[in-house]
Amino acid sequence: MAGLKGLIKGDRPDQEEDAERFIVGATERLNVHNNKTTRERVYKTYTFSLTEAISQKIDNLLDLIPRKQRASRSDIVKVGVTYLSSLSEEELNKLVIEVTRKN
């Protein structure tokens, strides 16, 4: 590190101690993550078809979500399924009839 001034070990013991704690902590966090040899998959991949219009509606819904809230197209589908499952059978049937008639 020739040419760099003020970087001699021992010049700033407080900052060196802080840096060392940071490095040790990062290493410990990394080791915790690396110790997980087998990860359980919490999701299963499914494939289904969407019309271009429905796909565009999903993208439009994503645009309404604030950037700091990370969401994916799958999240939008999950929200939709969660909402639909909260409807009564009559409400769900009415909505399904309405949507399928449009297509």
CA atoms within 13 A on the CB side of 76: 14
Q: Could you tell me how many helices (H) and strands (E) the chain has, helices first?
A: 4, 0
d(CA 52, CA 58): 10
Report the predicted TM-score, pTM, of the whole model to 2 decimal places: 0.55
Contact 74, 55 (CB under 8 A): no
Q: What was the pLDDT predicted at 25? A: 74
3-state helix, strand, coil in the chain (%, to 5): 60, 0, 40
Q: What was the pLDDT predicted at 75? A: 93
For the record, the structure tokens of 79 come out as: 């929200």
Q: What is the mean pLDDT of each run of 10 residues along the chain (103 residues)?
A: 58 74 72 61 85 94 89 93 95 93 76
